[in-house]
Amino acid sequence: MSDSEKQTMATKVVDKMYNNDPFSQWLGIERVKDGAGDSVLRMTVRKEMLNGFAIAHGGITYSLADSALAFASNGYGQMAVSVETSISHTAQVKEGDALTTSVREVSLTRKIGVYYIDIHNQNQELVATFKGTVYRTGKDWFPE
């Protein structure tokens, strides 16, 4: 596939995933960039996402990163499912903070992909770092 065909495929897959994803929509996730092995997502933290410390619940940044993992790893047009993920929360996230993902594809074999996903706030401060491992099933999103 050419780069432009790759891009078209990634957008087509993530369109299909995102348009049927009520939770990503509840989070207010906005897609800045789709890609094969890449996904830039942005969201703003709302009051209903806070925990008992008045900071974002750990599940919010995890969910954002997990969506980026799903979009990036499925962006090749082949189905991939998460098998292991971990996250470290490195700075507090407050109401109104705008969060952005950046994905690094560390390793990609026929069957396994490994991704690091950092989340920064509007001040370019790292608030969470996430590692995700996916299993690639070999099934196409759009079989010909």
Using rule CB under 8 A, residue 126 touches a second copy: yes
Q: Of 33 and 136, which has the nearer Cβ to a second copy?
A: 136
When computed from its CA atoms, the radius of gyration of the chain, rounded to whole angstroms, is 15
Stretch that binds a second copy, among 4-12, 20-28, 31-39 (CB under 8 A): 20-28
Provide the strand spans (E) within the chain.
30-35, 38-44, 78-89, 98-108, 112-120, 126-140
Considering CB under 8 A, how many residues would be counted as binding a second copy?
Answer: 52
List b or e across 80-105, with b for residues whose CB sees 16 or more CB atoms inside 10 angstroms.
beeeebebebeeebeeebebbbbbeb
* Interface with a second copy in residues 29-68 (CB under 8 A): 47-54, 56-60, 62-64, 66-67
* Interface with a second copy in residues 72-101 (CB under 8 A): 82-91
Using rule CB under 8 A, residue 116 touches a second copy: yes
Q: From CA 51, how far away is CA 136, in angstroms rounded? A: 34
Using rule CB under 8 A, residue 28 touches a second copy: no
CA angle 80, 81, 86 (to 5 degrees): 125
**Residues making contact with a second copy (CB under 8 A):** 16-24, 26, 47-54, 56-60, 62-64, 66-67, 70, 82-91, 106-107, 109, 111-112, 114, 116, 118, 126, 129, 131, 133, 135
